[in-house]
Chain A
Amino acid sequence: MSDRQSSNAYWQANLKIIYICIAIWALVSYGFAIILRPLLSGIKIGGTDLGFWFAQQGSILVFIALIFFYAWRMNKLDRDHGVDE
């Protein structure tokens, strides 16, 4: 039963990391690049505004960072809960 409990704690911790990453994923793409773009239009970047940069460059870079962060954080979590390979 202790096995099941530790794997439950592991799964809850995994879900928490996923929620955080998905929130950032949505914020940069649907938020900064689309819905919040008018609010950010005061911040100028290279002939246009921050929202445009997020739509065509920034969100992709954040996506990459998110995946590597998730992979790194999960490797640590795997080891902490003794479920690594």
Chain B
Amino acid sequence: MSQFTLNLIFIGLSFAVYIGIAIWARAGTTAEFYAANRGVSPVMNGMATAADWMSAASFISMAGLIAFTGYDNSTYLMGWTGGYVLLAMLLAPYLRKFGKFTVPEFIGDRFYSGTARIIGVICLLIISITYVIGQMTGVGVTFSRYLEVSNSTGLWIGAALVFCYAVLGGMKGITYTQVAQYVVLIIAYTIPAVFIALQLTGHALPQTGLFGTLNGTDAKFLTTLDQVVTDLGFKSYTGHHGSTLNMVLFTLALMIGTAGLPHVIIRFFTVPKVSDARKSAGWALVFIALLYTVAPAVGSMSRFNLTSTMWPGAETGQTFSQPAVSLDSIQNDDDKQWMRNWQVTGLLNWEDKNGDGLIQYYNEAGAEQEPLAAAVAEQNLQGNELTTVNNDIMVLANPEIANLPGWVIAIVAAGGLAAALSTAAGLLLAISGAVSHDLVKGALNPNISEKGELFAARVSMAVSILVATILGLNPPGFAAQTVALAFGLAASSIFPVLMMGIFSKRINKQGAIAGMLAGILSTLVYIFLYKGWFFIAGTNSLNDVPAEWLFGISPASFGVIGALINFAVAYVVSNATEEPPLEVQELVESIRVPRGAGQARAH
């Protein structure tokens, strides 16, 4: 059976399951559409949250980010998991007790202000739309790589599928498809990882294999990896090379950004009780950790496999004991077929610069160090000859590099699609809820009937899918910068305002609005100063290099400073103006205790 047929079967089967669930889970009321009637068990919700949260970036890109940087990029591992501790203790239970449907609705009620609610909607829309573009691009790329259709055909197929279960089923349909998508993506991620950990270290668990002994040697795997990469002039894998301040701030920005992402927060509105919201955050993190503790093993082991493919001597830690891989081998050998496959996509490339028939892979910036300097002189190297290695191929090419059977490759394809589609659906639900519930019902037409609102929710979902698809077809130049933007905004606007709304009775309308605006604007300006105004290339006022950053703070980490500005401004302005009305103070009292949450179902 050809690889193409296998891919078609696995992707087709997974899609049939999603559509079956969509038909079974049709939504008939707004409570079902926005919050799955608050009937989702905490474990199920944890699994759905994990699929919702783990996007194409987690599935495809994260291991590659760790592979080529090593320890310094542990920020992603801690940052994208630590936020759930904050969610479980600082936000989720109280927002569930509040018992409404959207994040801006809480901001509007707690700060008794339509203006605050609209600012909340705008933040939510910017965050979710920038985030969804990346998912749609990921869907297009995966389809075109594995089903041999054009990028745009792939995107439209994905959009049609999301349309089926998101528009029909709302939160209810999305929740149960996300559970199925989680199962697909975790199997797809784990199987190749287990095979590779067994090959390299003899451990079936990648988490312990990472710290195990390299097969065929007496040395630890990580020690050998450090040795091999430093031999080739790269920075050591386990060492700390960047700025400690930025590592701390970036991790914190990712953590509070995660806790402030609206599409994650609304998942906790679907469980029956306040205690379930706490527990559910724990389950979500368990399911996320199944991938996140495997990712560093995948990253380091695929880096090792890539390096020992290029320098066969590296397999035992003796990097220069054998000549580099030959051009002839890359072009003809069966076990190098994956290199030819990925060269077609442009994500991998090589060039025999010194014409010796060998492809020498090394870091030019470290060429003065021994033993690389000796090798450069002896072999007359004219520069690194593995000219392109894209981060993203580390996960996608993993099964091929390790010579795993065709069905594993097909599962990885289905898993990549599941990761992108489940996140896209969650984001689209957050967007349509903000439009139909906060804008249409909250501001434009408060007397709209339940049926009318449900229809408005479906229409806004359909329009969001269309907009996301069109943006995915023509991704704006700033697509790569959107992670910094989405997390920066979530950290500097939504997280602080929600937290103050729960933990302080004194923060009032004026304080919240001033705080949110100060947080968002300072963060946007700082990002634009270094990344270009509205991300238009060349319009940046300052160079995006550490030497020019204010106090050495990178634009991606600035969300933390934005959040501090938000807290400070809200505190000062609130204390200079009158206390919130008594009924708002009682609202705060009531969301702080769990009793009575069940009644919220009647809404």
A binding-site residues for B, Cβ under 8 Å:
4, 7, 10-11, 14, 18, 21-22, 25, 29-30, 33-35, 37, 45-49, 52-53, 55-57, 59-61, 63-64, 66-68, 70-71, 74-75, 78, 82-85
> Secondary structure at chain B's binding surface: helix, strand, loop or mixed?
helix
Residues in A neighbouring B251, C-beta threshold 8 A: 29-30, 34
Residues in A neighbouring B248, C-beta threshold 8 A: 30, 34-35
25 contacts between A and B (CB under 8 A): A10-B592, A25-B85, A29-B251, A30-B248, A30-B251, A30-B252, A33-B74, A46-B210, A46-B221, A47-B223, A52-B71, A52-B74, A52-B238, A53-B211, A60-B77, A60-B289, A60-B292, A63-B81, A63-B82, A63-B289, A67-B89, A67-B281, A84-B594, A85-B594, A85-B595
In the bound assembly, the distance between CA atoms of A56 and B197 in angstroms comes to 16
Also in contact, A64 and B289, with CB within 8 A (given A29-B251, A55-B78, A56-B77): yes
* Contact among B71, B81, B240, B279 for A60, CB-based, below 8 A: B81
Residues in A neighbouring B66, C-beta threshold 8 A: 56
* Contact among B78, B88, B279 for A33, CB-based, below 8 A: B78
Between A and B, how many residue pairs show CB distances below 8 Å? 138
Asked whether, in the complex, the Cβ of B275 is within 8 Å of the Cβ of A48, the reply is no
Residues in A neighbouring B275, C-beta threshold 8 A: 71, 74-75, 78, 84-85
Contact with A along B263-293 (1 / 0, CB 8 A): 0000000000111001101100110010011
In the bound assembly, the distance between CA atoms of A60 and B294 in angstroms comes to 11
Also in contact, A74 and B278, with CB within 8 A (given A21-B85, A48-B238, A57-B293): yes
* Contact among B71, B210, B244, B274 for A35, CB-based, below 8 A: B244
> Secondary structure at chain A's binding surface: helix, strand, loop or mixed?
helix
In the bound assembly, the distance between CA atoms of A37 and B224 in angstroms comes to 21
In the bound assembly, the distance between CA atoms of A68 and B222 in angstroms comes to 32
Asked whether, in the complex, the Cβ of B74 is within 8 Å of the Cβ of A56, the reply is yes
Residues in A neighbouring B247, C-beta threshold 8 A: 34
Within the complex, the shortest CB–CB distance from B13 to chain A, in Å, comes to 32
Asked whether, in the complex, the Cβ of A34 is within 8 Å of the Cβ of B244, the reply is yes
Please tell me if B373 contacts chain A, counting CB pairs below 8 Å: no
In the bound assembly, the distance between CA atoms of A55 and B93 in angstroms comes to 28
Also in contact, A78 and B594, with CB within 8 A (given A29-B251, A34-B248, A85-B274): yes
Residues in B neighbouring A71, C-beta threshold 8 A: 88, 275, 278-279, 281-282
Asked whether, in the complex, the Cβ of A85 is within 8 Å of the Cβ of B598, the reply is yes
Query: Told that A46-B222, A48-B220, A60-B289 touch, could you supply 12 new A-B pairs with CB distance under 8 A?
Result: A33-B74, A48-B223, A55-B71, A59-B81, A60-B81, A67-B89, A70-B278, A71-B279, A78-B275, A78-B595, A85-B273, A85-B594
* Contact among B221, B240, B595 for A47, CB-based, below 8 A: B221
Asked whether, in the complex, the Cβ of B210 is within 8 Å of the Cβ of A64, the reply is no
* Contact among A35, A47, A53, A64 for B282, CB-based, below 8 A: A64
Within the complex, the shortest CB–CB distance from B246 to chain A, in Å, comes to 10
In the bound assembly, the distance between CA atoms of A75 and B285 in angstroms comes to 19
Residue of A nearest to B88 (CB): A67
Residues in B neighbouring A11, C-beta threshold 8 A: 592
Residues in B neighbouring A29, C-beta threshold 8 A: 78, 82, 251
Residues in B neighbouring A68, C-beta threshold 8 A: 279, 282
Residue of B nearest to A11 (CB): B592
In the bound assembly, the distance between CA atoms of A9 and B544 in angstroms comes to 50
